[in-house]
């Protein structure tokens, strides 16, 4: 396996998680979220599972931080829950929630782990969802206010700050496909949400910068596409898919404009005066996070925008059914640096795979994950050799957790979690990473 010593000095290795996926949202006075509502609606989530208990990290965080330290990770990418800090989304603060994140950050520092915070990883307070959530223009201000509150408490000890995780998933999966909360399927709401989530990112960066915080970043997810054939129809579908999946948010952040083709097709749904917001959307960031998992085959579809269909591909697949295509990681690192972010430092903020892992005799043999990680390390290293300013890699995820609409059965962790007993069992991949980071 690639080792720490195969990467430049100072390259940071870390593990990622997210609040709703691990904490246990029924503990500590957290407010209701749109994921609780989505999961309580028949047919949305496998077995209607929710994040009420999840990995019980709210009570087990010290042992979980020990696992991060013992693996030799430099940093921990965690997220704070908006609804835990502000149960109604605005107004009264839940002091217990702020105290929890305060202890958590101190716990990282005590263990020599750098805290990388993500301010929003999908648990919108239900009270704000009632007002239209990300489809409501006011969400940018609401989000920036929340960002200032949480940073006011822990920001003095944070290594790096990301605003919103995977703006694509927040807006497109939440409001176009309806696969994620709030489960809306409406093109107008979706396009508005895409803009509003971009504006919320920029508004928060401006507010935090003005308040004196630095090392502020954005985190985008990317999907690699291969054409089903070489027809002009497929080429056009590839462009629509790329604009929507990979370029919309990057273009907003780094060019202050959205892809022309996309604006031509659905720009009529953008909120009035959206052009005036683009200065805020593109307020400079100090780093960019790249989340990458898989590739897919794209074909043209007859339906309305984006008129794209995915075709089953031949490559080995993960438990999610996602095709493993390590060179996609290099592709997007190059695309970001060459076409958008330039010299801005990049971090791979998520990469990993789900596997149907089982504990056998106290061990979990996940060689397939070790291979996956190693192949992606090779591509990260290649990108650095090609000149990409890549400064770190975070594995998704530290431990098995709530995989959103797919409930608890998709296991992404390098640590196995028994969701009945909450027992943690480091997998072979955890031990392999530990050895790689020690050398």
Give residues 207-266 in contact with ligand IFM (rule: CB under 6 A).
none
Q: Kindly list the distances between the CA atom of residue 94 and the CA atoms of 87, 88, 106, in Å, as whole numbers in the listed order.
A: 7, 10, 19
CA distance 281 to 218: 11
Residues linked to residue 216 through DSSP beta bridges, in sequence order: 161
Whether 391 is a known active-site residue: answer no
Query: Given candidates 318, 403, 408, 424, which one binds ligand IFM under the rule CB under 6 A?
Result: 403
CA distance 288 to 340: 10
User: In the complex with ligand IFM, which residue's Cβ is closer, 222 or 274?
Assistant: 222
Given the residues 23, 323, 350, 403, the one annotated as active site:
350
User: In the complex with ligand IFM, which residue's Cβ is closer, 113 or 398?
Assistant: 398
State the angle between helix axes of 367-385 and 327-335 in degrees (0 to 180), rounded to the nearest 10.
30
2, 94 contact by CB (below 8 A): no
Query: Given candidates 7, 13, 18, 98, which one binds ligand IFM under the rule CB under 6 A?
Result: 18
CA 397 to chain centre: 11
User: In the complex with ligand IFM, which residue's Cβ is closer, 204 or 399?
Assistant: 399
Query: Given candidates 23, 123, 166, 323, which one binds ligand IFM under the rule CB under 6 A?
Result: 166
Closest contact distance (angstroms) between CB of 415 and ligand IFM is: 15
* CA-based nearest residue to 378, from 323, 311, 439, 333: 333
Written as six digits, the tokens of 106 are 């101190």
Each residue 96-135 as x (binds ligand IFM by CB under 6 A) or -, in order, gives ----------------------------------------
CA distance 100 to 326: 37
CA distance 433 to 72: 8
Whether 272 is a known active-site residue: answer no
Please report the beta strands in 167-321, taking only residues with DSSP state E, as ranges in sequence order: 216-227, 287-300, 308-311
User: In the complex with ligand IFM, which residue's Cβ is closer, 177 or 439?
Assistant: 177
Q: Exposure pattern of 266-294 as b/e (b: 16+ CB <10 Å)?
A: beebbeeebeebbebbbbebbbbbbbbbb
Closest contact distance (angstroms) between CB of 291 and ligand IFM is: 5
Closest contact distance (angstroms) between CB of 21 and ligand IFM is: 6
User: In the complex with ligand IFM, which residue's Cβ is closer, 323 or 350?
Assistant: 350
70, 40 contact by CB (below 8 A): no
Q: Does residue 396 bind ligand IFM (CB under 6 A)?
A: yes
Give residues 408-427 in contact with ligand IFM (rule: CB under 6 A).
412
User: In the complex with ligand IFM, which residue's Cβ is closer, 77 or 269?
Assistant: 77
Closest contact distance (angstroms) between CB of 353 and ligand IFM is: 9
Closest contact distance (angstroms) between CB of 343 and ligand IFM is: 26
User: In the complex with ligand IFM, which residue's Cβ is closer, 198 or 397?
Assistant: 397
Closest contact distance (angstroms) between CB of 364 and ligand IFM is: 19
User: How many residues in the shown chain lie near ligand IFM by CB under 6 A?
Assistant: 8
Each residue 31-50 as x (binds ligand IFM by CB under 6 A) or -, in order, gives --------------------
Given the residues 148, 166, 323, 403, the one annotated as active site:
166
| DSSP strand pairing (415-417 vs 424-426) | antiparallel
CA distance 193 to 267: 12
Residues ≥6 apart with Cβ < 8 Å to 427: 357, 363, 364, 365, 366, 369, 413, 414, 415, 416
Give residues 330-389 in contact with ligand IFM (rule: CB under 6 A).
350
CA distance 405 to 60: 24
User: In the complex with ligand IFM, which residue's Cβ is closer, 175 or 274?
Assistant: 175
For the purposes of burial, counting CB atoms within 10 Å of the CB of 360, is it exposed (0-12), middle (13-18) or buried (19 or more)? exposed
Residues linked to residue 290 through DSSP beta bridges, in sequence order: 220, 348
Q: Kindly list the distances between the CA atom of residue 40 and the CA atoms of 32, 67, 82, 143, 145, in Å, as whole numbers in the listed order.
A: 12, 33, 20, 25, 29
Closest contact distance (angstroms) between CB of 60 and ligand IFM is: 19
Closest contact distance (angstroms) between CB of 50 and ligand IFM is: 14
| Contact residues for ligand IFM, defined by CB under 6 A | 18, 21, 166, 291, 350, 396, 403, 412
| Catalytic (active-site) positions | 166, 350
């Amino acid at each position: 396996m690639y080792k720490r010593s195969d990467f430049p000095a100072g390259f940071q290795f870390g593990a990622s998680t997210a609040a709703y996926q691990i904490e246990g949202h029924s503990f500590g006075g957290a407010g209701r979220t749109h994921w609780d509502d989505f999961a309580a609606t028949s047919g949305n989530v496998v077995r209607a599972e929710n994040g009420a208990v999840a990995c019980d990290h709210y009570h087990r965080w010290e042992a979980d931080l020990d696992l991060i330290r013992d693996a030799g990770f430099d940093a921990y990418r965690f997220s704070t829950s908006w609804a835990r800090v502000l149960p109604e989304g605005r107004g009264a603060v839940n002091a217990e929630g702020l105290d929890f994140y305060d202890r958590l950050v101190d716990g990282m520092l005590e263990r020599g782990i750098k805290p990388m915070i993500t301010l929003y990883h999908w648990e919108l307070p239900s009270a704000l969802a009632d007002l239209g959530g990300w489809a409501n223009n006011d969400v940018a201000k609401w989000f920036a206010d929340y960002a200032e509150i949480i940073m006011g408490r822990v920001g003095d000890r944070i290594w790096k700050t990301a605003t919103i995780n995977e703006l694509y998933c927040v807006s497109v999966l939440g409001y176009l496909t309806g696969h994620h909360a709030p489960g809306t399927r409406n093109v107008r709401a979706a396009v508005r949400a895409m803009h509003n989530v971009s504006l919320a990112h920029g508004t928060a960066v401006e507010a935090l910068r003005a308040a004196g915080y630095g090392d502020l970043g954005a985190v985008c997810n990317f999907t690699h596409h291969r054409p089903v054939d070489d027809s002009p129809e497929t080429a056009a579908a590839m462009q629509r898919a790329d604009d929507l999946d990979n370029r919309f948010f990057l273009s907003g952040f780094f060019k202050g404009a959205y892809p022309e083709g996309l604006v031509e097709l659905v720009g009529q749904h953008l909120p009035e005066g959206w052009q005036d917001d683009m200065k805020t959307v593109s307020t400079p960031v100090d780093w960019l996070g790249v989340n990458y998992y898989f590739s897919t085959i794209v074909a043209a579809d007859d339906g309305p925008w984006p008129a794209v269909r995915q075709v089953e591909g031949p490559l080995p697949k993960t438990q999610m059914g996602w095709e493993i295509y390590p060179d996609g990681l290099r592709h997007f690192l190059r695309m970001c640096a060459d076409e958008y972010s330039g010299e801005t430092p990049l971090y791979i903020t998520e990469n990993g795979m789900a596997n149907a892992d089982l504990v056998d005799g106290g061990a979990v043999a996940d060689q397939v994950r070790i291979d996956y990680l190693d192949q992606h390390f090779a591509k990260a290293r290649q990108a650095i050799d090609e000149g990409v300013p890549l400064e770190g890699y975070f594995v998704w995820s530290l431990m098995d957790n709530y995989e959103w609409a797919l409930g608890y059965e998709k296991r992404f962790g390098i640590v196995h979690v028994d969701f009945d007993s909450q027992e943690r069992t480091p997998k072979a991949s955890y031990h392999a990473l530990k050895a790689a980071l020690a050398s």
